[in-house]
Amino acid sequence: MTKPSSAPARWPALLFLLIGLALLQGCSLLQRPSSAPHDAPSSITSEAGPDSGPDAFALDVQVEDDTLREYLTRHLELQRFRQLPDLQAHELTRLLGSADANARDLLATQGYFSPEITIELREQATDADAPPRTVLVSVSPGPRTHIASADITLMGEDGHGADATELARRQARLQRGWSLPPGEPFTQQGWDSAKNQGLRDLQARRYPTARIASSRAEVDADRAEAKLQVAYAPGPAYRFGTLQIQGGERYDNEGMRRIARLPTGEDYSEARLLDTQQRLASSGYYDAVFLTLDTEHGDPQSAPVIAQVRDAPLQKMVFGVGISTDSGPRLSMDHTHNRLPGLGWRAVSKVAVDNKRKLLSTDWTGLPHANGWRWFTGLQLQREATGSYDVDSSRLRAGRTKSTDRIDRSYFLQHDTAKNRGEDAPPSSSAISANYGWTGRYFNNNTNPTRGWGLAAELGVGTTLRPERDPFVRTLLRWQSFVGLGRVDLGNNVRRGSRLSLRLEGGAVLARDGADIPVTQLFLTGGDTTVRGYGYRSIGARTDADKLFGGRYMAVGSAEWQRPITVRGNRTDFESALFIDAGAVADTPGDLTARVGVGAGLRWQSPVGPLQADLAYGLHTHQVRLHLRLGYTF
């Protein structure tokens, strides 16, 4: 058995990690020059060289509101000419003539329609390095205009037979979700954003050709009120037709349609269209996929979806180098054949070597049938450090599987062999079993979830083949949930939720006491994704010789508090985490003794997926361990 390294040996790696994360965080927090809002004129400042002399004038904006002062100072047209040292007096006078209107336009975009503005030009006796003049802009903005009412209308179009009930429902939904309700301050940016958001909501479901028919903002400057009116023309309601694949020549289009699972006949949904595109893109058969709804031809109630694709190579080989805190450095080679001769199945073969495991495997998968089920088979040969022993094992399985948007199901036959190596090693054994697996994922994002839950269950019934025949039943249950704990204000109108991540896992192998179950069917736990603070698969049962080995019963639980990190009010891509993990493995339920780990960590939303770095302390081993993990799977 490889003993976990002591705490001091981990500190150099930890220091290196924290320094790296700090540098990445620092880069993400560098201040960028703020750009002008889309409703304000751009401010172009000429860069004066060191020998170009003083500015033509200084600009001094005086207004009580600091936000307005910064806004006007940044976006007044006068800024474009301030750093021209050869600006003549008559040219500056002409510019001042238009400055009043420019300032009023800028203030109107912020909801101030009755300001009092005074502009003065002051000559000043200064040294040669200071501007000879100062333009003083004094502003009393007056009352800010607020929204008095917002009237949102959906117009049915002649000839399309729009469903009045559905339009009324969507109109009420738009009204409820309107981002500029009565009482809110009026701004041009907010008005434009509210209109466009309403349009996007319409186009995202049923009405992809929706447009803004008319919009109007009636401003009563005397009463500082604005009445908003916007009318949307939703156009015809669309339903998905057939998927038409264009550009693909190498692979069976009908099989690709079954992988895509376009919901033909259902109401158009942008989210469902993107899900279909993602399934095709992640299938491995295409290098590029782009889906569009054809709104120019055919019946809107059966609109075709065009898939522009580029075939992936028939074969591909990938070499990999990695490192894990569980198993150390890793070398791997993956070979993919997308269409096996004679079968047309997809084969993915892999060779991987690290400190704990040597693996050779191949998995073959057929294209889905019309009912969504597909055949698969796989062979795995492995040598792995399992508890106190090295185990040479093989696994052969064959069956059928089906994947939907939320649920994966499979049933298969499996043959296992395990040859245990080492002093006083348990007898080698083999078994055959029939298995069923079910996984439901109800997360908001399967690769980086922050809300929702997942549940997975496995059930196997089989018999050992040697050294004796003994029937057994194997069960495994996993559950993961994210519980919201409120919102954290990150500044700049950005809010992100903190959450509690809860995880449970339990398994059992039921057989007579003397049955020799292959260790590949037994349980070990501990490591990056189970019980942090302990080595990889270092929590198990004990043999008669007091050696660590797989156990028949397992229980694992974890609770983790995840919270976004802010730096001086700036949004970051980092989160902090505090956690407690516990796990136990034994041959009888009464012998289950929890091994507990506690710690803290960082989460970074990197471009290649969520990166997790945790520092955990094992209460049983009294050791500190560093755990790194890239990506999330359930």
- Label each residue of 515-553 as H, E or C: CCCCHHHCECECCCCCCCCCCCCCECEECCCCCEECECE
Q: Do both 508 and 373 map to the same domain?
A: yes
Handedness of CA 401, 284, 365, 634 (dihedral sign): negative
The answer to whether residue 30 sits within a structural domain is no
Cα torsion for 181, 183, 189, 194, to the nearest 10°? 0
> Could you tell me the two tokens for 23?
């540098």
Q: Do both 227 and 254 map to the same domain?
A: no
Strand order in the sheet with 133-140: 58-62, 133-140, 116-123
The answer to whether residue 6 sits within a structural domain is no
The answer to whether residue 542 sits within a structural domain is yes
Q: Do both 104 and 225 map to the same domain?
A: no
CA-angle at 124, arms to 122 and 127, nearest 5°? 150
The answer to whether residue 192 sits within a structural domain is yes
Q: Do both 270 and 182 map to the same domain?
A: no
Q: Does 209 have pLDDT greater than 90?
A: yes
Spatial distance between the Cα atoms of 287 and 308, rounded to a whole number of angstroms: 11
CB proximity list for 509: less than 8 A, separation 6 or greater: 472, 473, 474, 517, 521, 522, 523, 552, 553
CATH number for the domain including 251?
Answer: 3.10.20.310
3-state secondary structure of 33: coil
Interval 277-313: pLDDT, tens: 999 999 999 999 999 999 988 799 999 999 999 999 9
Interval 156-202: pLDDT, tens: 754 344 478 888 899 999 999 999 899 999 999 999 999 999 999 99
> Could you tell me the two tokens for 533?
């603070």
Q: Do both 387 and 401 map to the same domain?
A: yes
At 52, is the pLDDT very low, low, confident or very high (cuts 50, 70, 90)?
low
> Could you tell me the two tokens for 515?
């049955």
CA-angle at 378, arms to 376 and 381, nearest 5°? 175
Cα torsion for 249, 267, 443, 490, to the nearest 10°? 110
Q: Do both 171 and 262 map to the same domain?
A: no
Instruction: Single out the residue in 140, 162, 192 at which a domain terminates.
Output: 140
Domain that holds residue 70: 58-140
Q: Read off the DSSP letter of residue 239.
A: B
402 versus 59: the higher-pLDDT residue is: 402
Q: What is the per-residue pLDDT for 9?
A: 40
Domain count, the chain: 5
- Label each residue of 302-329 as H, E or C: HEEEEEEEEECCCEEEEEEEEEECCCEE
The answer to whether residue 349 sits within a structural domain is yes
Q: Do both 553 and 568 map to the same domain?
A: yes
Q: What is the per-residue pLDDT for 373?
A: 95
Instruction: Single out the residue in 97, 120, 140 at which a domain terminates.
Output: 140
The answer to whether residue 87 sits within a structural domain is yes
CA distances from 109 to 103, 106, 191, 287, 428 (A): 10, 5, 10, 46, 79
Q: What is the per-residue pLDDT for 3?
A: 39
Q: Do both 574 and 520 map to the same domain?
A: yes
Spatial distance between the Cα atoms of 595 and 592, rounded to a whole number of angstroms: 10
DSSP line for 283-299: TSSEEEEEEEE--SSS-
Q: Do both 466 and 533 map to the same domain?
A: yes
CATH number for the domain including 597?
Answer: 2.40.160.50
Q: Do both 459 and 580 map to the same domain?
A: yes
Interval 487-528: pLDDT, tens: 766 555 556 678 999 999 999 999 999 899 999 999 999 999
Instruction: Single out the residue in 140, 164, 187 at which a domain terminates.
Output: 140
The answer to whether residue 19 sits within a structural domain is no
Q: Do both 151 and 133 map to the same domain?
A: no
The answer to whether residue 228 sits within a structural domain is yes
3-state secondary structure of 1: coil
With residues binned 3-state (H G I as helix, E B as strand, rest as coil), the percentages for the chain, rounded to 5, are 20, 45, 35
At 428, give phi and psi (nearest 5°). -70, 155
316 versus 4: the higher-pLDDT residue is: 316
Q: Do both 321 and 391 map to the same domain?
A: no
